[in-house]
Amino acid sequence: MDTKSLVEPNSHFVLHVPREYDGSRIDAFITSQFTLYSRSFFTRLIDDGTVELNGKPVTKSGVRVAFGDTVSVRFPAAREVQVDVLKEKAPAIEIVYENPHFLIINKPAGLLVHPTSMKSTAATLVDWLLMNYASIEDVGYVDRPGIVHRLDKDTSGLLIVPRTNYAHGIFADLFRDRKMSKTYYAIVQGHPEKQGVITLPIGRDPILKTKMTSKQFPERSMKVRDATTHYKVLEYFDDAALIEVKPVTGRTHQIRVHFVAIGHPLIGDAVYGKKSKLINRHALHAHNLSFEFEGKQYSFEKSLPEDMNELIKKLRAKTA
């Protein structure tokens, strides 16, 4: 079986593992059978408890299947989106640039790029895109149409959205080959060195699955991936610093994890540091995107949003 079409909500499939997939990860095997869906979609189904192996619920996406195993997959019901919340956030979504092949969007903090769970009703950028650019529904993976990279919910700034599968393929290659230049502004606690390169590997925290970590754990407990982050300090405050960050790799929560690892968590990062009275989210903004598309160089910039500018003013006032 190899399903190359959209699956109806609440559909149920029973798959039999052929010999060529003996020893494969269960999420990889299922993804190979539903090629319009991303692997992370099936990881979320596993997390939601709707995948079974030989009649037993699967709890880890890394479980291996064997020839002859039976895999049961139940697709979720159609998502019910909080339309009122989406309309409330819509004015803050800015189209910085558009052409027939892609959009450059300035994403506000507080907005998810795509659903984190198939049970989630939270409004996302994908929902907004489908309301305003309906043709994007057919671009990329069914579960996250038009999405080729992400920003964390509380990270503001620039995001590329392909409008054609042609562009989606090109941008996916640029990110894979590390030919997409990304620059962020962050405000961190303390005084890091004037400039530096952080090369700590990153993996999912084996205890708190929603977090990432650069701490070293036994190999069997944690899959780590290389991660490289360049930075330089733009301004020091009393006990904080404004920094320019250039991640070479694009690991989940990379900037946040790397700076907490060197003792300088982002101000306002309630997950990796602590909440702040000065700003109600982590102080991170995607400032610049530069790349080549069809032989032409593109570079886009978006200055700091109001909340981060206000934070800088407060920090300067404390420093004076």
Residues 180-201: pLDDT tens digits? 999 999 999 999 999 999 999 9
Higher-confidence residue of 171 and 320: namely 171
In which band, very low, low, confident or very high, does the pLDDT at 277 lie, cut at 50, 70 and 90?
very high
- pLDDT above 70 covers what percent of the chain? 92
Residue 279 scores a pLDDT above 70: yes
- 145 in helix, strand or coil? coil
Domains along the sequence of the chain with CATH = 12-74 (3.10.290.10), 83-177 (3.30.2350.10), 181-319 (3.30.2350.10)
Q: How far apart are the first and last CA of the chain?
A: 67
Residue 78 scores a pLDDT above 80: no
> 48 catalytic, yes or no?
no
Average pLDDT of 86-92?
Answer: 71
In which band, very low, low, confident or very high, does the pLDDT at 137 lie, cut at 50, 70 and 90?
confident
Average pLDDT of 97-119?
Answer: 90
Q: Which residues pair with 243 in a beta bridge?
A: 186, 233
- pLDDT above 90 covers what percent of the chain? 69
Compute the distance between CA of residue 54 and CA of residue 126 in angstroms, rounded to an integer. Answer: 35
Q: What is the DSSP letter of 31?
A: H
In which band, very low, low, confident or very high, does the pLDDT at 58 lie, cut at 50, 70 and 90?
very high
Q: Which of 270, 286, 308 is nearest to 149 (CA)?
A: 286
Half-sphere exposure of 107 (CA within 13 A, CB side): 30
Higher-confidence residue of 144 and 129: namely 129
Average pLDDT of 250-276?
Answer: 96
Compute the distance between CA of residue 44 and CA of residue 116 in angstroms, rounded to an integer. Answer: 8
Q: Using a CB cutoff of 8 Å and minimum separation of 24, what contacts does 91-96 make? A: 93/125, 93/128, 96/158, 96/300, 96/302
**Choice among 13-22, 30-39, 143-152, 205-214 with the minimum mean pLDDT:** 205-214
**pLDDT for res 220:** 47
Q: Which of 152, 154, 173, 269 is catalytic?
A: 152
Residue 119 scores a pLDDT above 90: no
**pLDDT for res 234:** 98
Computed over every residue of the chain, the mean pLDDT equals: 90
**Choice among 78-82, 130-134, 292-296, 297-301 with the minimum mean pLDDT:** 78-82
Q: Which residues have CB under 8 Å from 25's CB, separation 6+?
A: 61, 62, 63, 64, 65
Residue 101 scores a pLDDT above 80: yes
In which band, very low, low, confident or very high, does the pLDDT at 6 lie, cut at 50, 70 and 90?
low
